[in-house]
Chains A and B, each alone.
Chain A
Amino acid sequence: MLFAHGFGCDQHMWRFVAPRFADRFRVVTFDHVGAGGSDLTAYDIERYSTLDGYAQDVVEICRDLGLRDVVYVGHSVSAMIGVLAVRQAPELFARLVLVGPSPRYVDDLDDGYVGGFSEEDIAGLLESLESNYLGWSGAMAPVIMGNSDVPELGAELTESFCRTDPEIARRFARVTFLSDNRADLAEVTVPTLVLQCTEDVIAPMSVGEYVVEHMPDASLVVLDATGHCPNLSAPDATTAAIDEFMSGASPARSATA
C-alpha cells in the first residue's frame, strides 16, 4: 500500500492510518518533492508545474521499490495524482483509494460544474500562504530536511511539518488548485473507493459524487467526519472503510466474473 499526502503537510498525515495496515501489507509512505523531509534541491520547476510530474514520481517510487498490485491511497490533491499515475502505468496498480478527491477545485460555469471555488478564492489562498510563511526562513530548511528518518516527531519537526519553502508551497498550491483532471477520471478502470467527509469545504459532497459517477469502477463511502482530513480527525472510520474495501471483492469485477 502506497500512501500519498495532500497539499499542505507531509506523510505524517498518515501516521494514524498507515501503520494499521503494516501487518498485512507492505506499507510505503513518502513526502512529495518540495514537502516534508524531501530534498528541496530536487524540486524542478518544470517537472512539478503539472500534476503529471508528481504522478511520474509515484510511478518511479513503485518501480524503484519493485511494488506490484499497488493499493494507492491518495489524500486531497494526491487523489488526482494517483489517477494520473494509474493512467501512466496501469499495470502497477490494483486499487485506488481517493480521500477527499476533487478533479477540479475551480467552478466551471460553462459546464455547470461546481468545484466550490472561484479563481479569486485561489488568489486568496496564495495570499494566505504568503502571510503564513513569513516565519519560514532558510535557516529552517536544515531542520526540516534530513529529519525524515526520525521515527518520532521531534519538537522542531512537529513545529514545521506543515511548512516548506514558501516559493514551492506557492507553486504547489497553484498546480493543485488550478488543475483540471475531470477528463482523466473515465480512463481509470481499477477498482476505486472514494472516501468523502460530510462537511468538507475543500472537496464538497457533490464533487465526491461527481468523481464516483465519472469513474468506471468507483464506489462512494461517506465518512461520519467533517473537514478535509479524516485521516487525522477520524482515523478509525477511515481505516475501517479502507479495510472493508480491501477485503471485499470489487463489485465490477465480481459482476463480470
Chain B
Amino acid sequence: MTAQREDALQRFYGALLEDDAEQLYDSAPCGYLSTMPDGTVTKVNQTFLSLTGHRREDLVGVRRFVDLLAPGGRIYHETHFAPMLQMQGSAHEIAFDLLRADGSRLPVLVNSVLVRDDAGQPVTVRTAVFDATHRREYERQLLRAKVDAEAAQARAVALASTLQQTLVPPSAPVVPGLEVAAAYRPAGRVGAEVGGDFYDVFQVGEGDWVVAIGDVCGKGVQAAVVTALVRYTLRAAAVQHDAPSAALAVLNEVLLRHETDRFCTVGMVRLRQDSEGWLAAVGCGGHPLPLLRRADGSVSTAGARGTLLGVMATARTIDTEVRLGPGDSLLLLTDGVTEARREDEFFGDDRVVSVLDGSPASAAATVDGLLDQVLAFQVGSPRDDIAIVAVRVPD
C-alpha cells in the first residue's frame, strides 16, 4: 500500500518536473507570441513556429503581428482588433488567417492581452493562437446554411403574400348605386403567414350583387386552399341559387365532401336593386352577424347566426330580408375585429357599435375608422386576421 503511494508520488513529481516553465512555454498546445505595443514580435514559442513554418530569426525583431496576417485580416486587425486592444486591454476569439512561410493560409483564433506598466503605458502584447482550421470550415458551412435559410424564408414570405392576394379582390369593385369599401389585414407581420379570412364582392346580374365575408379555421397554405375553395364555391352557388341560405347549403355540402376537415364561418348578403333602393337578403353560417346602421345613426344586427359550415350534415341558416334606404349601411366583419385583444380585454361588439355611432359616414370612412381603432387597440401586430366590408346606399 505504502509502496504503491510512494510510486504514484514519484510519477507525479516526475511529470511536474517534466513541464518546466521553458517547456510549458515552448511546447504549449497553442501558438504563443509576445510583441511590442506596435506589434513587433519580441518572443515566439515553438508551437507557433511549427504551425506557421516561420523561422524564429525571421520574426523576432523583424516583423509585426499584422504582417503575418492575410491582407483582409490586416484591415480587420487595424480597424477592429488594434482599437479593441487599446480600448479594452484585450481581444478574444478573433478569427484571422495567418500566412505561413510557404504562403499558405492557416485559419486561427486569437486571444490577446495588452500589458501596461504602472503609469498606464503599453508595454507588451501577449497573444495566444489556436489552430481553427476545422472550426472555420464548420463556420463557413453554417454561414452558407444561414444565407440559404434566409433566402428560403424570403421566398416563403413572397409566396404567402402572393397567395394572400388571391383570397381577396384586388380592390373593392365599383357597384352602381352603392358605396363599397373593404379592408384586410392578415395576422402577424406582413407576409409572415397566409390568413384564413376572406371577403368577396361580385355581380350576379343587373342590379344583383353578392357580398360575402368568411373565416376558414386555421392558417397557412392548407387553410388558403380551403379559403379559395369556399370563395369560388360561393360564386358558383350564387349563380344557381338566389337565397344565401341555399348557397351556404351548397358550400356546406362541398366542404363535407372535400378531404379537408377544416370548417368555416360565412356571412353572405345578396343585394338587389329595385325602385325603392336596395333589398338585402342576409344569410349567416356561424359568422358574426352583419351590423345595420340606419341613416339616423341607430345600429342593430341583421340576420340570424346559423350553424358553422363544413361540420354538420345539414347546415341550418336563415335568410333575413333588410331594406336599405338612402344613408343606410351594412357592415360585415370577422372576429379578428371583435376579438382583438389588449391584454385580457377584447375590442368587443360595443366598441364596434360606438365607432359606427354618431355622424353618418361614408362606407370608406367607416371601414378606415374601424380598422384604425382596432389596430390601435391591440399593441403590435394583429394576432388574428381582420376583414371588414361596408356597403352603403348614398344619400
Contact = CB atoms under 8 A, between A and B. Distances in A.
A129 interface: yes
Nearest to A163: B80
Interface stretch (B69-77, B170-178, B179-187, B343-351): B69-77
A122 to B, nearest CB: 7
B72 A124 contact: yes
A228 interface: yes
For the residues of B in contact with A, the DSSP-based class is helix
B296 interface: no
Given A121-B75, A132-B94, A202-B75, A233 B136 contact: no
A6 interface: yes
Interface string B96-114: 1100000000000000000
Contacts of B82: 227-229, 232-233
B306 interface: no
Given A126-B72, A201-B74, A202-B75, A226 B80 contact: no
A227 B39 contact: yes
Interface stretch (B4-12, B83-91, B312-320, B386-394): B83-91
B41 interface: no
Contacts of B88: 158-159, 161
B123 interface: no
Contact of A130 (B77, B80, B143): B143
Contact of A135 (B39, B67, B72, B93): B93
A237 to B, nearest CB: 13
29 contacts: A6-B79, A9-B79, A117-B75, A120-B71, A121-B71, A122-B75, A124-B73, A125-B72, A127-B72, A128-B76, A129-B76, A130-B143, A131-B95, A131-B136, A131-B140, A153-B87, A159-B88, A161-B87, A161-B88, A162-B84, A200-B78, A201-B74, A201-B75, A202-B79, A226-B64, A228-B78, A229-B78, A229-B86, A233-B82
Given A123-B72, A162-B79, 10 more contacts: A9-B79, A9-B80, A9-B87, A117-B71, A117-B75, A122-B72, A124-B71, A159-B88, A201-B66, A233-B86
